[in-house]
């Protein structure tokens, strides 16, 4: 299989304009004849559904939540990037492009990343027009702050609720189209399989979570917008319902999976407090604008933070990365925190955290100014921990967060299955081996509002004369039967361990062996451990109830079954990449001072994997990364 990224010819800054000028169009009268399925109602899914429906396409929108506005985009806090240069501090589209490419350790396509930066300019205007209440300066201008991995202020924000406010804007646009009858919204429906007919995506099989009924839906194109699979680690910043099942079912139907081992560990989360937890809480990266990160210089320190004098504090990010300090990129900051914790300098009752201290900011700016910027985050911290971060430093720790990997897509956001598109975190496209903060909301919005409406039209224009398929096609019958058999198989095991127990074991194994750091020995151990757990899952799982009813345990079981397969592919991917880059840190490949050591000669590619069956090894199809406009360099933040 030879991968074609379909990158347009011409200068970097003209590629997207050239594509739009030459893409095929669909006559407005014909758009309603071309139904589109969109799975997921987060920022990428809701924006795509609203945009396509407004153009006149007939859209079917699916989410497993009881309301489209409960999608996990609501949880993003810190902001959304755009190269507006309102601060007049040297920002530009090119600088944002370079920061993003460098932040991803030069493991993303130039054309995709430049388009992301270019479209960021339009997104802010779009969001303001929707009523998103971005923070403003005294004079009324939109305010900006900085995020990790950059030296300018390009992040637009709505206190610590940016994801929620952007999602509400997209949700309002979506629900307007629902009210107009242009979008049919199916809440409490989970996609369980993709239907491929004559090599093209033509529909999905979904389970009605309220009745247990298996239902068929046909369309001329399918868009997957279901987010990432970071919840595979069990303890993560993601909600319990987040999963990787939609992209994985598509992968098993022929869509290649790209760079699955590139998963981000966020440096600014609340530390684990006990074995009873099923989730960790994200504290926005924006806090690192004013908070200083440190640990005591003494191991096993017993004194309270405020009792430790300044000269006995190690501001290790400022010490190791003076140019960026506390705003070093997430992968670097997380590894640095882990190194200090592992060396015995961790704080808190379990010695698994570091301090995030606002005393200097409060002294210099005043308490009211800090409250104005971060008040809801401080309130959330106090509600969860009972500690007042205005009086004493927060305790933070790294936690699993974002998936840079996902379904392989070309420049048009189409997978290797014609007619199947993946947008937002469900694809791998824009972030390389590490995502810079505030680029997640950006990519989700840009994919849905500004890219997919052009690229899906280019595909659908060729489907106008194609024979229309219905849910009565034999392939729908085959897919429905296979879905039903899998559900029955899970119900019939009658073991003694719940899906949550398996998920917890898998998460710990994966975090230890394929988390912040990896090694060949550890990854081989992980693969064997996952295979053993996989066998045990299908002999010892217990799912109470029946399939033909509301059954949350059955939902979990299906997702954990997929996680077990995704986890093994993650380890294969990490094992095959004999270098360190971004969030992928192989212990065998590091510099003398412990920094990531890339191997551009052998591994400057996107690793795209083909599913070959449960008992067969996956097949690698590398997509070489060609850098025409920037020069590969050592990624340094010192």
The residues annotated as belonging to the active site are 330
Give the N- to C-terminal CA distance of the chain in Å, as an integer: 41
The tokens describing 419, both together, are 């007619």
Contact (Cβ atoms closer than 8 angstroms) between residue 231 and residue 243: yes
Contact (Cβ atoms closer than 8 angstroms) between residue 539 and residue 496: no
Contacts of 14 (CB under 8 A, 6+ apart): none
HEC letters along 74-136:
HHCCCCEECCCCCCCCCCCHHHHHHHHHHHCCCCCCHHHHHHHHHHHHHHHHHHHHHCCCCCE
Contacts of 629 (CB under 8 A, 6+ apart): 12, 110, 114
If we measure between CA atoms, which residue out of 402, 419, 120 comes closest to residue 259?
Answer: 402
Contact (Cβ atoms closer than 8 angstroms) between residue 354 and residue 294: yes
Length of the chain: 638
If we measure between CA atoms, which residue out of 601, 486, 414 comes closest to residue 190?
Answer: 486
* Max CA distance (Å), the chain: 75
Taking the C-alpha atoms of residue 428 and residue 406, their distance in angstroms, rounded to an integer, is: 5
- Helix or strand (DSSP H, E) at 602: helix 600-603
Region of 594 please: left (phi>0), alpha (psi -120 to 50) or beta: left
The tokens describing 4, both together, are 């074609």
Q: Strand, coil or helix: what is 353? A: strand
**Residue 576, class by beta-carbon neighbours within 10 Å (0-12 exposed, 13-18 middle, 19+ buried)?**
middle
Say which DSSP state 543 is in. Answer: -
Contact (Cβ atoms closer than 8 angstroms) between residue 187 and residue 325: no
Taking the C-alpha atoms of residue 440 and residue 458, their distance in angstroms, rounded to an integer, is: 25
Contacts of 152 (CB under 8 A, 6+ apart): 85, 87, 89, 90, 91, 95, 146
Q: Strand, coil or helix: what is 62? A: strand
The residue written with tokens 């590091």 in the block is 590
Q: Degrees (nearest 5) of the Cα angle 166, 227, 508?
A: 125
Alpha helices, DSSP H, located in 447-595: 452-460, 474-492, 499-514, 520-540, 552-576
Residue 504: CB atoms within 10 A of its CB come to: 16
Region of 494 please: left (phi>0), alpha (psi -120 to 50) or beta: left
Identify the bridge partners of residue 313 per DSSP, sorted by sequence position.
296
**At residue 116, what are phi and psi to the nearest 5 degrees?**
-60, -50
Taking the C-alpha atoms of residue 77 and residue 97, their distance in angstroms, rounded to an integer, is: 22
Contact (Cβ atoms closer than 8 angstroms) between residue 460 and residue 172: no
């Amino acid at each position: 299989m030879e991968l074609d990224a379909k990158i347009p010819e011409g200068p970097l800054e003209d590629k997207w304009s050239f594509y739009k000028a030459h893409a095929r169009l669909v006559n407005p009268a014909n758009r309603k004849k071309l139904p589109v399925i969109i799975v997921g109602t987060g920022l990428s899914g809701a924006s795509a559904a609203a945009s396509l429906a407004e153009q006149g396409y007939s859209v079917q929108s699916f989410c497993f939540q009881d309301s489209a506005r409960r999608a996990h985009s609501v949880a993003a806090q810190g902001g959304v990037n755009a190269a507006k240069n309102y601060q007049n501090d040297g920002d530009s589209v090119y600088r944002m492009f370079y920061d993003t490419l460098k932040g991803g350790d030069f493991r993303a396509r130039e054309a995709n990343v430049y388009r992301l930066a270019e479209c960021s300019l339009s997104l802010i205007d779009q969001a303001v027009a929707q009523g998103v209440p971005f923070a403003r300066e005294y004079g009324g201008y939109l305010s900006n702050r900085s995020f990790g991995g950059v030296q300018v202020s390009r992040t637009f924000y709505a206190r610590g609720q940016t994801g929620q406010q952007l999602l509400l804007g997209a949700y309002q646009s979506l629900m307007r189209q629902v009210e107009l009858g242009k979008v049919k919204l199916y809440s409490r429906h989970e996609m369980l399989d993709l239907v491929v007919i004559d090599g093209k995506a033509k529909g999905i099989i979904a389970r009605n979570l309220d009745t247990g009924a298996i239902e068929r839906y046909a369309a001329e194109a399918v868009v997957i917008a279901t987010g990432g699979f970071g919840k595979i680690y069990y303890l993560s910043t993601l909600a319990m319902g987040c999963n990787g099942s939609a992209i994985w079912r598509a992968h098993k139907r022929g869509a290649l999976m790209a760079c699955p081992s590139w998963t981000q560990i966020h440096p600014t989360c609340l530390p684990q407090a006990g074995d009873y937890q099923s989730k960790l809480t994200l504290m926005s990266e924006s806090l690192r604008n004013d908070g200083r990160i440190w640990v005591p210089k003494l191991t096993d320190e017993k004194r309270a933070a405020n009792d430790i004098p300044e000269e006995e504090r190690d501001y290790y990010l400022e010490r190791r990365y003076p140019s960026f300090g506390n705003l070093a990129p997430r992968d670097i900051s997380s590894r640095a925190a882990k190194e200090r914790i592992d060396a015995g300098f961790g704080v808190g009752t379990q010695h698994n955290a570091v301090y995030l201290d606002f005393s200097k900011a409060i002294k210099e700016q005043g308490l009211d100014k800090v409250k104005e910027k971060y008040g809801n985050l401080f309130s959330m911290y106090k509600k969860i921990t009972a500690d007042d971060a205005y009086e004493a430093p927060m305790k933070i720790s790294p936690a699993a967060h974002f998936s840079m990997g996902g379904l392989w897509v070309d420049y048009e956001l189409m997978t290797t299955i014609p007619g199947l598109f993946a947008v937002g975190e469900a694809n791998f496209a824009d972030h390389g081996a590490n995502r810079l903060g505030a680029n997640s909301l950006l990519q989700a919005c840009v994919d849905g509002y500004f890219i997919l409406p052009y690229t899906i039209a280019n595909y659908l224009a060729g489907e106008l004369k194609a024979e229309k398929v219905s849910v009565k096609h034999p392939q729908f019958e085959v897919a429905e039967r296979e879905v039903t058999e899998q559900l029955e198989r899970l119900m019939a095991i009658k073991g003694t361990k719940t899906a949550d127990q398996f998920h917890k074991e898998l998460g710990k194994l994966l975090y230890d062996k394929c988390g912040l750091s990896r090694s060949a020995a550890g990854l081989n151990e992980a693969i064997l451990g996952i295979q053993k757990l996989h066998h045990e899952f299908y002999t010892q799982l217990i799912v109470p109830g029946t399939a033909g009813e509301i059954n949350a345990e059955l939902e979990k079981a299906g997702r954990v079954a997929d996680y077990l397969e995704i986890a093994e592919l993650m380890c294969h991917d990490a094992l095959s990449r004999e270098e360190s880059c971004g969030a992928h840190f192989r212990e065998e490949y590091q510099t003398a001072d412990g920094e990531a050591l890339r191997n551009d000669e052998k591994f400057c590619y996107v690793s795209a994997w083909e599913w070959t069956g449960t008992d067969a090894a996956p097949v690698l199809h590398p997509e070489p990364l060609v850098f025409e406009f920037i020069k590969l360099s050592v990624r340094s933040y010192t």
